[in-house]
Structure formats: C-alpha cells, structure tokens
C-alpha cells in the first residue's frame, strides 16, 4: 500500500535550522521513499513499511539529541506524489 506523510519538526530550545537540516538529510538517505521539502514541511511518499521505517529511524535520531523537539505528522492512505486528492 502506497502512502504519503507530511512532517514538520519543531526544535523547542535550540536554533532550529541545523536540527531540521540534519533530519531532512537523514530522510533523504533512506531507501525506497521519495522526499520533497518546502518551507513549511517535508513530504514522504512510498510503500507504507518504507515510509514508517524512515520516519522511525530519523525521529529516533532527532529525539536522541540533547534538544527538545516536537514532530507533527499527517498520514494519507494515498500516494499524493502522483495524484491530486
């Protein structure tokens, strides 16, 4: 099943840009997903397992830093990379 996820990472105490950039860089290194980034969020497209695995890996890395962060996620059960729903 193909899905789409929209992620917004909000560091709560640190300068946000380096932590956000690191999160996106790590997302782009994950296999079997498509990543699109804009000024408000990052979208991920792919098979359910690959998307969830990528989010798990990258979020665990962000949460293991000394920074406090909030990750807001929206999930759709369609692949928005190829359709307009």
Condensed to tens digits (0 to 9), the pLDDT of residues 18-62 reads 899 999 999 999 999 999 999 899 999 999 999 999 999 999 999
Alpha-carbon span 40 to 49, nearest angstrom: 25
Nearest residue to 54 (alpha-carbon basis) of 32, 22, 82, 80 = 32
2-76 is classed CATH 3.30.1360.170: no
Q: Is the pTM of this model over 0.85?
A: yes
13-29 confidence digits (pLDDT tens): 767 788 999 999 999 99
**Per-domain residue ranges of the chain:** 2-76
């Amino acid at each position: 099943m193909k899905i789409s996820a929209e992620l917004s990472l909000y560091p709560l105490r640190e300068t946000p840009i380096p932590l956000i950039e690191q999160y996106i860089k790590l997302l782009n290194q994950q296999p079997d997903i498509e990543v699109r980034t804009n000024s408000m969020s990052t979208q991920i497209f792919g098979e359910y397992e690959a998307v969830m695995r990528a989010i798990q890996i990258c979020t665990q890395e962000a949460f293991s830093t000394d920074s406090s962060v909030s990750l807001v996620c929206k999930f759709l059960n369609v692949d928005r990379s190829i359709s307009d729903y």
